[in-house]
Amino acid sequence: MIENSDVDPGDKAMILLQSLICYMREKNLLSRADIEELRDRVEARMAATEPNLPCASALAAAAASEMRELDDFCGKKYGGKHRRRVN
């Protein structure tokens, strides 16, 4: 068994959040459109040059990349309808 002190707290949080999003999608508490909206919000925070961001831009880019991968995973595993795009 891995000791708690051997695992980075950020890694633990990432695993918990990914598991929670997948579980909520599986139980139909989140739609695919909800996950796409969350992904867009993460990417918008990355793109915005807000001085009050609590993390470095490299971390924000990594978070956006993780969110894209999670969106792709949930879309393939659980399916669902995409958000309607209005142009």
- How far is the CA of 14 from the CAs of 7, 67, 86, in angstroms? 12, 10, 32
pLDDT of residue 3: 58
Burial class (CB in 10 A: 0-12, 13-18, 19+), 56: exposed
pLDDT of residue 41: 86
| Residue 62 CA from chain centroid, whole number | 10
pTM of the model: 0.60
For every one of its 87 residues, what pLDDT tens digit does the chain have, with 9 covering 90 and above? 455 667 677 778 888 888 888 888 888 888 888 888 888 888 887 776 555 555 566 777 777 788 888 888 887 887 766 555 544
pLDDT of residue 55: 59
Cα separation of 26 and 74, whole Å?
9
